Each structure stands twice: as C-alpha cells, then as structure tokens.
Structure 1
Amino acid sequence: MRSDRRTQLLRRGRNVECASLVYNIIEVAVSLTAGFATGSSALISWGVDSIVEGNSAAFMVWRLHGEAAGISEREVLKRKKTALGVLSAAFSIAVVFILYEAISKFISGETASLSWWGIGILLVSLVVNPLLAWGKYRYGKLTDSPTLKYDAIDTIICEYQTIVVLVGIAFVQWKGWWWADPVAALLIVPYVAWEAFHAGRDAYQVDLDASVSG
C-alpha cells in the first residue's frame, strides 16, 4: 500500500495539473480567437502548442489520479505509456500545422494586425506559467516523479515561446517587419518537434512489467 503522505502529495500534484489544464483551455480559446482574427501565425502557433500542453496536463491528471487511487503498478505504467504516445502524436500534428501556417504567411506576405486580447493572454502567461512550473517540479521532486518534473520543464519552455511570440508581435507592430510574425512561429517548431520525438521514444521504452518509476 502506498503511504498516506505519498498519496496526499500525488493529489496535490494532480491539483496543480488540473489548474494547468484549466489555464491552458483559456490560453487556447483566447490565443486562437485573436490569432485567426488578426492573421497572426505566431499567436495561432502558440495556441496550437497550448492545445498540446493542455493534453499533457489532462493525461497527467489521469495518470496521477490513478496512482493516488491505488491502481496497480502495471496500470500506472500503462497509463504513462498511453499518455506519452498521445502526446507524441499531438506534438507531431502541431509541427505540421505550425509549418503550414508560417510558410503560408511567408508566401502571401500578409501582415498580422494588433490584438490586445492576444497580447493580454501572453502577458498573463508570463506570470502564470512559472508558478505552474514551480508547482509541478515541487511535487515531482517530493514524489520522485520524473513525469511531473518533465512536464514542469515543458511549462518553462512554454514561457520561452511566450517571450518569442511577444517579441515577434513587437517587431511587426513597431518596426513593420511583417516577416517577424511567421519567424516567431517557426522558432517554436524545433521545440515541438523535439518533444514529439522525446515523448514517442519514452513511450516506446516504457516496460509494463517493470516497477513504477514515476
């Protein structure tokens, strides 16, 4: 049986992931609406990545809830393998979409217009994401859960993406560099592609007959 202390920590980690899921849903709704309304590839790409981050949080909630509820170690590993596989597929789809959106903007030469809603959600994310990352890493460390700590790193990298998008929007609006918007979107691609590979590799390496390692 798992100790009451560990179960309590797992539930707290799950609560942090629930908060992350709710916030990512808000990010997706605002950024995609603003992105499509203004023609901003960077905002749209950031919103697509937020969908992936939301999926990650949802599967982490599912995975942590199961372990806290006392499911078998094999079932915990099965959930981990499934979550990683779904994330790998989601990241891969995101790469294709971001490339299509950015290249289309390069071809058309279309300039994105300003969206205060888009800038607003980006600025809020600059504050919220580090707090979520801290919570994930803290409970990942306390429960010796690599997946929680891994998700915390993902959230911190999302902070980098937020800064990149804000800089891209600034160059478009104040310098008139229309190409800065699709470039900002393309700068997100290497990270998303790496995460697709990393999650797929980790899913493949999960041994359902091994003991739970987080």
Structure 2
Amino acid sequence: MYNITEVTISLTAGFMTGSSALISWGVDSIVEANSAAFMIWQLNGEAKGINERDKRKRKKIALGVLSGAFTIAVLFICYEAISKFISQETASMSWWGIGILLVSLVVNPMLAWGKYRYGKKTDSATLKYDAIDTMICEYQTIVVLIGVGLVQWQGWWWADPVAALLIVPYVAWEAYESGRDAWQVQIDEEDNDE
C-alpha cells in the first residue's frame, strides 16, 4: 500500500512541477512495486506447495517481466532527463514531492529491516534480496532529495536531471541482472524429487 502512495504522490508532484528526478524516482517505484507483487506471487505459490516446474516457471515469468519493466524505466528516465537538459527547464517547488521523499527516508529502512528479518526467519533468499533492494532505494531517495533541494535553494536547474540520471545505472543493472537470471531458469529441467 505504501508503494502505491509513493508512486502516486511522486509522479503527480513530478509532472506538476516538471521535476525529472521526482518522475524518475516515481517510475522506479512502479517497478519496485511490481517486483514486490511478483515476489509475493512467487512466494504464495511456494506456500501453496506447487511443483518444482511451476516454481521455476513463476520465477522465469517474474524475472522476465521485471527485466522488461526496468528496461522501459531506463529509457523513460533517460528521455525525461535529456529533454530537461535540452530545454533547460527549471523544476518548480513541490512540498508534496519533498514530503514523500522525507517519508521514504524513514519508511524504507523499516521495510528493509522487516523484509530481511522475515527472509532470514523463513530462509527466503528472495526476501533478503528484496530487503537489500529497498535499502538501495533509500540511497536513490537521498540523491533525488539533494537534486530537488539544489534546484530550489541554489537555483541549479541542471541538478534535477542529473539526479534523475544518477538513478539510471542502478535501474539498468537491475534490468540486466533480472534478464540474465530469467534466461538461466530452465523450466523443464528434471526435478530431483520426482
């Protein structure tokens, strides 16, 4: 539920103020929300006791969809930031945008801690990985907050698209890793327990 609120506020504030950094952060949050949904779908299947082939199939689908979503996010963020560099458009102030960033600074560490703790308790590598991913989002939040702050308090119009572009390497790496992992999942490999 928090992710939906984060996405809604950051994208609305980003489009209203022309902030590439907020829009990019919101787009990345959409992908993160999808990641969480697919993780729940995958874990739910495991909890219901689906067979190994179906587990691998779910994993392959989830990773493939995430790779595609991350790739689209990279293209969108690059387009948005480069457009701002060309137009040299300055983002206006958004207390809503700054507010959601500040809330995320507090919420993300708590979410990461909960995911990691539950992942350790259930021996779920997926949950532990997602906890690390949430902490990486914390660093992105700090970068975007600095970018938005520099625009507003120093008048550096270029800080906003630079902050957006600083998100790209992480998102591109996630696109590559999830795509590579999806490719490596062999759905029809023989099960040891059959």
TM-score (norm 1): 0.86
Tell me the CA shift for residue 211 of structure 1.
Answer: 6.0
> CA offsets, 1:70-118, max 9 Å, x none?
1112211211111111000000000000000000000000000110000
* Equivalent residue, structure 2, for 1:177: 156
* Equivalent residue, structure 2, for 1:157: 136
Give the count of matched residue pairs.
Answer: 191
* Equivalent residue, structure 2, for 1:129: 108
Structure 2 counterpart of 1:109, from 88, 97, 117: 88
The whole-number CA distance in structure 1 between the counterparts of 2:165 and 2:99 is 22
Tell me the CA shift for residue 147 of structure 1.
Answer: 1.7
Structure 2 counterpart of 1:142, from 87, 107, 121: 121
Kindly indicate whether residue 63 of structure 2 is the aligned counterpart of residue 84 of structure 1: yes
Displacement over 6 Å in runs of 4+: none
Cα pair distance change 1:37/1:54, threshold 3 Å: same
Tell me the CA shift for residue 34 of structure 1.
Answer: 0.3
Letter in 2 for 1:116: W
Structure 2 counterpart of 1:75, from 46, 54, 60: 54
Unaligned runs of 5+ in 1: 1-21
* Equivalent residue, structure 2, for 1:38: 17
Tell me the CA shift for residue 143 of structure 1.
Answer: 2.4
* Equivalent residue, structure 2, for 1:120: 99
TM-score (norm 2): 0.95
The whole-number CA distance in structure 1 between the counterparts of 2:52 and 2:121 is 19
The whole-number CA distance in structure 2 between the counterparts of 1:25 and 1:35 is 15
* Equivalent residue, structure 2, for 1:198: 177
> CA offsets, 1:98-157, max 9 Å, x none?
000000000000000110000111111111111111122122222222222221111111
**What is the alpha-carbon root mean square deviation over aligned residues?**
1.3
Work out the percentage of aligned pairs sharing the same amino acid.
79
Kindly indicate whether residue 63 of structure 2 is the aligned counterpart of residue 63 of structure 1: no
Tell me the CA shift for residue 207 of structure 1.
Answer: 2.8
Greater CA drift, 60-69 or 44-53: 60-69
Kindly indicate whether residue 165 of structure 2 is the aligned counterpart of residue 186 of structure 1: yes
Letter in 2 for 1:188: I
Structure 2 counterpart of 1:99, from 78, 84, 89: 78
